[in-house]
């Protein structure tokens, strides 16, 4: 497989240390930076095995956005933080919680590149600074036919992307996630074409439902859930939700993505939740809802909804497209 090439960063793109430190001071004043920094302390708390007793880790203040609130029963903190997919830490569902303790998500920078007027390297604080953190309760549907209901904290992805002024050539946006073999034991195995990468069409990325998440259940993201910054695209299968993003690039042509390279007939570029299109090895018409005290083993099966229940909001993005061919 072709290795993914990351373009070198020009010195002029890097935030000078003095400017970076000033921004940190500003954000500390807002009380925003402290919780995110605390989340990076992987010496205990959520980064290893999750506590039985409910949410833990740094509190992250956010304004509730009730526009898309799901009224369904929430998944427990314990299930959401111990039953994960994050192959850089191993392919077992418990591996991320078990092995993500060494991962250091702070300090964090994201490189922005490609067809945009504003490109360069930005600290996490820079990315978040102009935005108010929102809490949104979304359904989270994995391609493996389990689902959760999770209160995410983050910012609208589109609002963040607009700041980079994508040009008319920017038809897609690609997300590359972190690659640190010293901290991520799963990278020793060739299960995917590392680094993990995902992409969206630009209009999908600009849709107000798409989020860049930094927390869940009122707390900063635990390492196993994608600290410090991940995508949440609730009408798509969970694998579109790239975790621990380090690079955002605006592309003219459709970018290649890790799961599509691994299994093109199983994981399409669009990956909209679609009960009418089965995965070649299992049905997608129903899902095991991991919620409340149901736990992952005894979760009940419910019908899967087109676009994961967000059809009213997003179906128009795909008007005229054959959604069987474009799975």
- Name the residue with the smallest CB distance to ligand MTE: 238
Of the candidate residues 57, 238, 255, 309, the single one contacting ligand MTE (CB under 6 A): 238
Cβ closer to ligand MTE: 146 or 172? 146
- Burial (CB < 10 A; 0-12, 13-18, 19+), residue 5, is exposed
Determine if residue 177 is labeled as part of a ligand binding site: yes
Cβ closer to ligand MTE: 93 or 163? 93
Q: Note whether 239 binds ligand MTE by CB under 6 A.
A: yes
Answer whether 142's CB lies under 8 Å from 238's CB. Answer: yes
Which residues in the 63-92 window bind ligand MTE by CB under 6 A? 84-88
Of the candidate residues 50, 55, 241, 268, the single one contacting ligand MTE (CB under 6 A): 241
Determine if residue 225 is labeled as part of a ligand binding site: yes
Q: Coil, helix or strand for 314? A: helix
Taking CB under 6 A as the binding criterion, the range among 22-30, 43-51, 237-245, 267-275 that sits at the site for ligand MTE is: 237-245
**d(Cα 312, Cα 277) in Å, to the nearest integer?**
19
Determine if residue 84 is labeled as part of a ligand binding site: yes
Which residues in the 200-229 window bind ligand MTE by CB under 6 A? 225
| Closest residue by Cα to residue 7 from 199, 247, 205 | 247
**d(Cα 196, Cα 188) in Å, to the nearest integer?**
13
Of the candidate residues 177, 260, 271, 274, the single one contacting ligand MTE (CB under 6 A): 177
User: Position of tokens 């299960």?
Assistant: 191
User: Position of tokens 């992409």?
Assistant: 199
Answer whether 295's CB lies under 8 Å from 73's CB. Answer: no
Taking CB under 6 A as the binding criterion, the range among 103-111, 160-168, 238-246, 300-308 that sits at the site for ligand MTE is: 238-246
Which residues in the 124-163 window bind ligand MTE by CB under 6 A? 140, 142
Cβ closer to ligand MTE: 34 or 262? 262
Residues with Cβ within 8 Å of residue 60, at least 6 apart in sequence: 35, 36, 133, 153, 214, 215, 218, 219, 220
Residues of this chain that bind ligand MTE (CB under 6 A): 84-88, 140, 142, 177, 196, 225, 238-239, 241-244
């Amino acid at each position: 497989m072709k290795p993914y090439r990351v373009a070198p960063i020009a010195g002029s793109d890097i935030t000078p240390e003095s400017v970076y430190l000033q921004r940190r001071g500003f954000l500390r004043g807002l009380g925003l930076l402290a919780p995110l920094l605390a989340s990076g302390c992987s010496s205990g708390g959520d980064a290893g095995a999750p506590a039985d007793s409910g949410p833990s880790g740094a509190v992250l203040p956010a304004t509730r956005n009730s526009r898309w609130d799901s009224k369904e029963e929430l998944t427990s903190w314990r299930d959401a933080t111990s039953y994960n997919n994050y192959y850089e830490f191993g392919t077992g569902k418990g591996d991320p919680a078990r092995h993500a303790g060494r991962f250091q998500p702070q300090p964090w920078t994201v490189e922005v590149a490609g067809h945009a007027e504003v490109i360069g390297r930005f600290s996490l604080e820079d990315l978040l600074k102009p935005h108010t953190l929102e809490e949104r309760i979304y359904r989270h549907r994995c391609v493996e036919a389990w689902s959760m209901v999770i209160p995410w904290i983050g910012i609208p992805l589109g609002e963040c992307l607009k700041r980079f002024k994508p040009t008319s050539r920017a038809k897609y946006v690609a997300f590359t996630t972190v690659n640190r073999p010293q901290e991520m034991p799963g990278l020793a195995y060739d299960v995917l074409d590392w680094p993990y990468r995902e992409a969206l069409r630009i209009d999908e990325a600009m849709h107000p439902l798409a989020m860049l998440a930094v927390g869940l259940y009122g707390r900063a993201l635990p390492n196993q859930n994608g600290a410090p910054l991940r995508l949440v695209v609730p009408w798509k299968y969970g694998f579109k939700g790239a975790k621990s993003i380090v690079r955002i690039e605006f592309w003219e042509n459709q970018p290649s993505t890790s799961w599509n390279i691994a299994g093109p007939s199983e994981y399409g570029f669009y990956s909209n939740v679609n009960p009418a299109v089965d995965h070649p090895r299992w049905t997608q018409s129903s899902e095991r809802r991991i919620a409340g005290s149901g736990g992952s083993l005894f979760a009940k099966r419910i019908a899967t909804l087109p676009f994961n229940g967000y059809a009213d909001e997003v179906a128009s993005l795909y008007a005229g497209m054959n959604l069987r061919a474009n799975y």
